[in-house]
Amino acid sequence: MTSADQTSDVTPFDCSHALRLSAADWVIVAVAMLAIIGLAPIVWQRYERFEPGDDYRMPYELSSDYWLYSRCSRQACDKRKTLVIGDSVVWGHYVPPNETLSHYLNEFSGRQQFANLGLDGTHPAALEGLLRHYSPSLSGRTVVLHFNPLWMTSVKHDLQTDKEFHFNHPDLVSQFTPKIPCYKAPFAARVRIALKRTIPLANWIAHLRTTYYESSDVQNWTLRHPYNCPLKQLTRGLPESAGVPEPAGGTWVSKGAKKQDVTWVDLDTSLQWKFFRRSIELLRKQGNQVFVLVGPFNEHMLNEADAAAYGAIKTKVAQWFAENKVPYFLPPALPAEHYVDASHPLGEGYALWARELLQDPAFTALIQ
């Protein structure tokens, strides 16, 4: 027999290091992989210490860590807290954790009842996605939901412009319907985001990347840190401080207190208002009691015409809440010196806001 004949008799798998899996073996591999996918995030929660205190809020640098937000939400629900949910105004963008709205509500009410579940940059379109996809434990609770009129001050903020606009938290917004005109992500990217929402392992891996590897994968992180052990990064634990951005130039008054032109979006056509209503409907379907907190927007910065337009918006908003039996509080504007900008108060503003809210009969009846 020639060498050519001998070669032809050898199959591609006839070698010493070949490994063939039977059908049963493949079943075992599949079960093992599913176990890893399902159990790894659960096991990690036992390893990663997470004991949020009374004034805990999501670390500023982890604003896109939705897996951690989900965990935070679940713990607050387990403690039967009243959940204060909203954007950077609720989070407390220019104040430390002990000067936020939820802190003063706890202090003035005399009990640690309120939990800060604000997340920086969550406009209503993003907030609706955050509640729908990353707050599965949020049912049967009392929720104080903040509505910031800032997101209706232009068609750009309202996401209505047809020109592509890179806004905060694109992974949270509706990927297909309702359509967001300025959101131009490719179809493949939208599918990837939609699938990620349903896979706990994918969200957990994103959490590890965001928290421990500077928002990159391990391969790229090791290229930037060739002498560091990637596994050692996982022993650092979660950041303890929230990080507070300093107000640039001081308060709105110290900056010059100049009037600004605002092009309010009509409430009937506003996308952000539509998504906010969807958030209310979602929370109520899940058996939550919802109380809406509007503003307080810095009305001192509005000219006469814009102030009149804002007054009309407040009237329409209040009418919708009344018609749909949604309790709400629409506070007056804070003193001008308590604002940093159009919507963010200083600590004194949050304290005044909390006192006014605790004097509202509908609110006090809800939190009893």
Q: Check residue 246 and give its pLDDT.
A: 62
Q: Tell me the pTM.
A: 0.87
Q: Check residue 181 and give its pLDDT.
A: 94
Return d(Cα 81, Cα 83) in angstroms, integer. Answer: 6
- Burial bucket for residue 8 (CB in 10 Å: 0-12, 13-18, 19+): exposed
Strand partners, 122: none
- Average pLDDT per 10 consecutive residues for the chain, totaling 368 residues: 51 59 70 67 82 89 92 90 95 92 95 94 95 90 96 94 92 93 94 89 87 87 87 83 61 73 92 97 95 93 92 95 96 92 92 95 88
Strand partners, 173: none
Q: Residue 219: which H helix or E strand, with range?
A: helix 218-224
What are the angstrom distances between the C-alpha of 119 and each of 108, 150, 205, 267, 288?
A: 23, 16, 20, 24, 20
Peptide bond into 170 cis (omega under 30): no
Strand partners, 335: none
Strand partners, 85: 145
Q: Check residue 176 and give its pLDDT.
A: 92
Return d(Cα 166, Cα 185) in angstroms, integer. Answer: 10
Return d(Cα 109, Cα 106) in angstroms, integer. Answer: 5
Which of 104, 130, 107, 99 is CA-nearest to residue 117? 130
Which of 351, 295, 343 is CA-nearest to residue 318? 295
